[in-house]
């Protein structure tokens, strides 16, 4: 991309790179005897994606390579009902995302419609970070 002097890189990040994990979401597991907390390494690695995005955006800006990140929240993938109940009760839209609901954001970030955008983190989270 740098040699071609054009391109768009989209890093996919997690809501837990922006905010700390809500450990209450996993209480149902602890109630059934599991010892489970979302590990700190998960949040640390996810937040690293955000700074990697900013670094690369600045590094490749002169070569007309844009680098942005898309932060997503939970995606429905047949999770346990106990988890869904707690998660959906916490998120303002009241449900997890369907996989195709991120398509528009990816298309926007990849297209010329966002050609002046680099180093940005686009958050599509059903309102998670609004509360």
Q: What is the pLDDT of residue 100?
A: 97
Spatial neighbors of 20 by CB under 8 A, at least 6 apart, are 43
Q: pLDDT digits over 15-74, tens only?
A: 999 999 999 999 999 999 999 999 999 999 999 999 999 999 999 999 999 999 999 999
Residue 26 falls in the annotated catalytic set: no
Residue 42 falls in the annotated catalytic set: yes
Q: What do you get for the CA distance between the two ends of the chain, in Å?
A: 38
Q: Which of 14, 69, 105, 114 is catalytic?
A: 14
Residue 46 falls in the annotated catalytic set: yes
> pTM of the predicted model, to two decimals?
0.93
User: Nearest 5°: CA angle at 47, between 41 and 52?
Assistant: 120
> Strand, coil or helix: what is 32?
coil
Q: Which of 46, 69, 87, 114 is catalytic?
A: 46
Retrieve residue 17's tokens. Answer: 């790179």
Spatial neighbors of 56 by CB under 8 A, at least 6 apart, are 9, 67
Length of the chain in terms of residues written? 131
List the domain boundaries for the chain.
7-130
> Strand, coil or helix: what is 71?
strand
Q: Which of 37, 42, 55, 59 is catalytic?
A: 42
The domain defined by 7-130 folds into Rossmann fold (3.40.50)
Tell me what the pLDDT averaged over the chain comes to: 97
């Amino acid at each position: 991309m740098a040699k071609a002097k054009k391109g768009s890189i989209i890093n996919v990040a997690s809501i837990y790179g922006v905010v700390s994990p809500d450990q209450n979401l996993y209480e149902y597991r602890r109630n059934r005897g599991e010892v489970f907390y979302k590990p700190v390494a998960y949040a640390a690695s996810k937040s690293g994606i955000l700074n990697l995005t900013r670094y690369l955006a600045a590094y490749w800006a002169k070569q007309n390579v844009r680098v942005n990140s898309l932060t997503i929240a939970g995606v429905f993938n047949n999770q346990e009902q106990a988890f869904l109940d707690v998660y959906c009760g916490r998120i303002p839209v009241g449900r997890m995302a369907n996989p195709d609901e991120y398509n528009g954001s990816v298309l926007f970030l990849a297209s010329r419609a966002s050609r002046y955008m680099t180093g940005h983190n686009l958050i599509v989270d059903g309102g998670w970070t609004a509360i």
